Amino acid sequence: MTSLRRSVPSMSALATFEAAARLGSFTLAAGELGVTQAAVSRQIKLLEDDLNAALFVRAHRRVKLTPSGAALAATVGTAFASMAEMIETIRRPVAENTVSVGATLAFSHFWILPRLSEFRGNHPGISMKLIAGDGATDLRRDRLDVCIRYGRPPFPDGRSILSHPDEVFAVCSPRLLQRLGIDPETADIARLPLIASDNVDPAWLTWRSWAQAAGLDPAIGKASDRSPLRFNHYTAAIEAAVNGEGVALGWSVLLSDHLAGGRLVRIGPHSLITAERYHVLVPAGREPSPATARFLDWLSGCFPG
């Protein structure tokens, strides 16, 4: 440890260098660190004197890394990122009786919210923080205790403790079938009004990709391209299907309540078991808090692995 202290410059100097190297500017680094530009210049000069090597080429408004500076920046940046990730991993929540859960908007809307009252009724002393969104999540960065994610492991920010497969098939409301006089088991999907979802997530299936993967008539994809009803989010597409506007692709896990309650029915014999699964993730390297452990126990009962 003594030799390490002697050979490694101060953490303050390295932090200043990392910011200046990443931002390419002493002025921007000063703003990020909350110090003056002169203080940044002084720290860099002391670091260069200590290393006996120039780290930056100074220009009028910008600075450019020298080869030595670039090599140091790569090492310091990686080390700082690793330290930040580990700190976020082991940091305990401020409120031990709060569980922060992350999920997509669709999973939150269709699966978590209808069941949440059961958990809260059994555990009134535990506070829940549900963070719903379709952007990329990170258990460490977003300070999540649990995340339900659709995909394939491994996941860099957590470990999967439960998983569940999904099945995709066509669904519509019973009143649409009644209005059109169609038998759900023998319905020709390509001839029905299809509700299209324009999803940016490649893991979500479109009518075209679903039909292709299931080995069905390409006419289904062509029919969806001509659909007069399109949505940019799955929850809106399903609401339209429930209201009798047309046929949507149904994900069995998400729509289990709608199917059980008869608000939607499965039509046609074709379905697709997806390669991806829903995974319940917890941060790697961190033991769940007592409140989180209770939530995971409850989740395992209704989300079997």
Got the DSSP string for 154-198?
-BTTEEEEEEE--EEEEEE-HHHHHHHT--TTT--GGGS-BPEE-
pLDDT of 8 strictly over 80 = no
Helix (H) or strand (E) holding 283: strand 277-283
Decide if 2-90 and 167-273 have a common fold: no
**CB under 8 Å to 242, separation ≥6 — which residues?**
173, 258, 263, 264
Domain boundaries, the chain: 2-90, 98-165+277-302, 167-273
User: Which pTM value belongs to this model?
Assistant: 0.69
* Six token digits for residue 60: 């009028």
Q: What type of residue sits at position 159?
A: R
Among 212, 108, 121, residue whose Cα is nearest residue 150: 108
Prior bond to 269 cis, omega within 30?
Answer: no
* Six token digits for residue 172: 């519509």
Confidence at residue 290, expressed as pLDDT on a 0 to 100 scale: 92
Nearest 5°: the CA angle 9, 27, 29 is 45
- Taking residue 290's Cβ as centre, other Cβ atoms within 10 Å add up to 11
pLDDT of 2 strictly over 50 = no
One of 3.30.460.20, 3.40.640.10, 1.10.10.60, 1.10.10.10 is the CATH number of 2-90, namely 1.10.10.10
The CATH number of the domain covering residues in 167-273:
3.40.190.290
Confidence of residue 1 (pLDDT cuts 50, 70, 90): very low
pLDDT of 251 strictly over 90 = yes
State mean pLDDT over 27-54: 91
Q: Rounded to an integer, what distance in angstroms lies between the CA atom of residue 176 and that of residue 166?
A: 25
Mean pLDDT of the residues in the chain: 88
Domain 98-165+277-302: give its CATH superfamily: Periplasmic binding protein-like II (3.40.190.10)
